[in-house]
Amino acid sequence: MKQMMILLGLVCISGVSLPAWAEDHGDMAGMMHQHMMQTEASDKRTSLHLPAHMKQQQLTMMREHLAAVNDIIADIAEGKFDAASRTAHQKLGLTPEMQQMCNMFDNDEFRNMGLTFHKRGDALGDALKTKNVRRSLDALHTTINSCVQCHATFRQ
């Protein structure tokens, strides 16, 4: 009861009547909807307009790319360059599967960015073969630049 009095006191001091307070907060769903619309509008990246059936497949592929980068970094730290090189070629390189994935996208710029990324993945695999940490990190950086560049340009 004491808390209720304090709340009422606060609402009164702030000059807001209770019905007005309730009205403001009752339309939460509408406010959230408006917020989402604004967020959507302020996202200036090009939409690929992916059909629903491609969305999940693409995100799954992306999470696998992230996991591959993570594995490669762990392997470099442990000096396992051969394993890191295999991961780079198999998971990030331009395998027939990746080539086929990239070809499914209509947007030319996106497809080219994807192909460049996979070629960099193969170059990373080659750099790792040299077992030279500096060259390997340099190639990893170049590869991740592709991730950053594409994410800054496109959304689903």
Residues of the shown chain interacting with ligand HEC in the complex, contacts defined by CB under 6 A: 59, 62-63, 65-66, 69, 110, 113-114, 117, 144, 146-147, 150-151, 154-156
Output the smallest distance, CB 32 to ligand HEC, in A: 19
The closest of 28, 27, 8, 4 to 16, measured between CA atoms, is 8
CA pair distance 116, 121, nearest whole angstrom: 9
Give Cα 66 to chain centroid, integer Å. 9
Output the smallest distance, CB 67 to ligand HEC, in A: 9
Q: Give the residue with the Cβ less far from ligand HEC, 81 or 154.
A: 154
Output the smallest distance, CB 133 to ligand HEC, in A: 19
Q: Give the residue with the Cβ less far from ligand HEC, 34 or 156.
A: 156
